[in-house]
Chains A and B, each alone.
Chain A
Amino acid sequence: MNSRIGYIAFNTFREAVRDRVLYNLIAFALLLSGTAILVGEISIDIERLVVVNLGLTAVSLFGVVIAIFIGIGLVSKEMDKRTLYTVLSRPVRRWEFVVGKFFGLTGTLVVNTFLMAIGVFLSLLYVAHKFEKMDAWVLVALYFIVLQFLIVCALALFFSSFSTPLMSAVFTFALFVIGSLAEDLRGFARITHGFGGWIATAVAYLVPNFSALNVISQVAHGDPVPGRLILYNSVYALLYSAMAISGAVLIFQRRNLK
């Protein structure tokens, strides 16, 4: 990696940590431990299912909220506060700045997810008293959640390169919700004909397919995740994020800093 990108990424990560972004982990830990204790008291035979479902959903939602709310301010905050002036007046190219910011935020989210994953496994151990082989699929679900974060960060960055923080948050969250229903949209497109069918197909394939990246329910039931899906999802998430980041770079390259 270009060293300047690394420096910018590390500074972004350090800023997030010092601005107490990881404090969300406390709320997450309280939620999960409370749930584990409650589930242990009242459920029979479905403790694992409930803990995995709830734990992974919480990891996903906490992460998406962080990705959106930090992602939309990554560039705009630097422009508003003019911290960007003393960075771009150095031998730093604009694309390096955008990519460095992106890596900094995704790094923050990976660390956040890792710590939350420890919480999920501890809760699992509490309710089931031991780990089983099928618990390994929880790791795959967590990996897919990280892939979701990559796309959400890239989209937040893309929208914030030309829009206000509020509108960027609205656009990104809307795409996250629509993308979570992408499989339903594709099904709808298949049964729609004519011009409407074209539009539905275009929309269904343009929005990020977050539903393919959601295997929480599957792994909660202990079902395996096919290796082919892991490969497809990895390539898809990387390509989609790369496209969104490229769009952000293209817009930011031409932008006058006021």
Chain B
Amino acid sequence: MAAIEILDLEKSYLVGFWRKRPKLALRPLRLTIEEGEVFGFLGPNGAGKTTTLKLLMGLVFPTAGTARILGMDMDDPRVKSQIGFLPEQPYFYDHLSARELLNYYGQLSGVPPKGRSARVEQMLARVGLSDSAGVQLRKFSKGMLQRVGLAQAILHDPKLVFLDEPMSGLDPMGRREVRDMIQQLRCEGKTVFFSTHILSDAEALCDRVGIIHQGELRGVGAVAELTSQTQGKVEIIFCAQGVPADLTSLGAEARVSGDMVNAVLPEERQDAALEVLRRERLKLISLTPVRSSLEEYYIQKLRPAENRKGVGV
């Protein structure tokens, strides 16, 4: 069963002071995310990622279209008890401690009183905040708030978790922890829908990604497929003090770093290049086909739009 079916969801806002005119924030969006999938929603700032998440959370209302979440209409009140949400740069009630906040959210989410405290402590431990559980949130750093945010999103054991820019503003250690947590959610069989503009995170975590730009979905693809496509080039790394002239004549783009050379050349000249190395008695370290990266796919999907004026307005 599909975890999320977005059916031509569209959002426009009225802008202007005197003569109000509609500004399209999200063009009709059609997208399906399967259960158990980790889906990355990629796009630059202002692309429409947060608008999509807010529509799915019922925080803003669609101009047209609808969505089905876990087989139910997105307006169905039962949906909310089965989803978790971490907003971008979350801000919580800073008069509460982390423990009080999670307890409050547990109450609102319908976590039964019996076992609620244990669940809260479990979540605090999971995000590494057990030692600061009694401290008011106004004294928390950004990274700690993000951890609280993650804890509240999964507190009630939802089937589907929405994370809006979960790594934004975190230091490398914090990003690593969030990545580990998303991996863990995948292992638990949860569906994760997260937005980001950090491509390396998406590449490391996602089963599939969707690229959105100027309110328009530009492409959807499986990360494994996108990054397994070869480009008809090979990368050869070997030990040498300089680039052999015969290799340059084969059209290799080479870079010397210390006593190592990294050369990229067309796939059909791979055998000739190896022959040069053998003749020159140079030690081969590796030979690998050059694969597409998610970044290339992303840039490719964004580029056509750069030349189109007025899209999204």
Q: A residues engaging B (CB < 8 A)?
A: 3-4, 7-8, 11, 14-15, 18-19, 81-93, 254, 256-258
Contact = CB atoms under 8 A, between A and B. Distances in A.
Contact of A257 (B60, B92, B107, B149): B60
20 contacts: A3-B107, A7-B104, A7-B107, A11-B93, A18-B95, A83-B93, A85-B54, A85-B85, A86-B149, A89-B59, A89-B83, A89-B162, A90-B80, A90-B109, A91-B78, A91-B109, A92-B80, A92-B108, A256-B61, A257-B54
A83 B92 contact: yes
Contact of A86 (B77, B85, B96): B85
The 6 A-B residue pairs with the shortest CB-CB distance, nearest first, are: A89-B85, A256-B60, A18-B95, A91-B80, A85-B87, A257-B59
A257 B83 CA distance: 19
A83 B80 CA distance: 17
B61 A85 contact: no
Contacts of A14: 95-96
A99 to B, nearest CB: 14
Interface in B250-295: none
Contacts of B93: 11, 15, 83
B77 A19 contact: no
B139 to A, nearest CB: 13
A18 B136 CA distance: 11
A96 to B, nearest CB: 9
Nearest to B83: A89
Nearest to B148: A86
Interface string B94-128: 01100000001101111000000000000000000
Classify the interface of chain A: helix, strand, loop or mixed. helix
Contact of B110 (A15, A91, A93, A254): A91
A244 B77 CA distance: 25
Contact of B57 (A11, A15, A83, A85): A85
Interface of B: 13, 54, 57-61, 77-78, 80-81, 83-85, 87, 90-93, 95-96, 104-105, 107-110, 149, 152, 156, 162
Give the one of B77, B93, B95, B110 with max A CB within 10 A: B93
A83 B91 contact: yes
A91 B81 contact: yes
Nearest to A254: B61
B61 A88 contact: no
B136 to A, nearest CB: 8
Give the one of A14, A91, A257 with max B CB within 10 A: A91
B194 to A, nearest CB: 15
A164 to B, nearest CB: 15
B87 to A, nearest CB: 4
Contacts of A87: 108
B59 A88 contact: yes
Contact of B108 (A83, A91, A257, A258): A91
A88 B90 CA distance: 14
Contacts of A88: 57-59
Given A15-B93, A18-B95, A86 B60 contact: no
Nearest to A88: B59
Contacts of B84: 89
A88 B93 CA distance: 14
Contacts of B90: 82, 85-86
Given A11-B93, A15-B93, A15-B95, A85 B59 contact: yes
A89 B60 CA distance: 11
B140 to A, nearest CB: 14
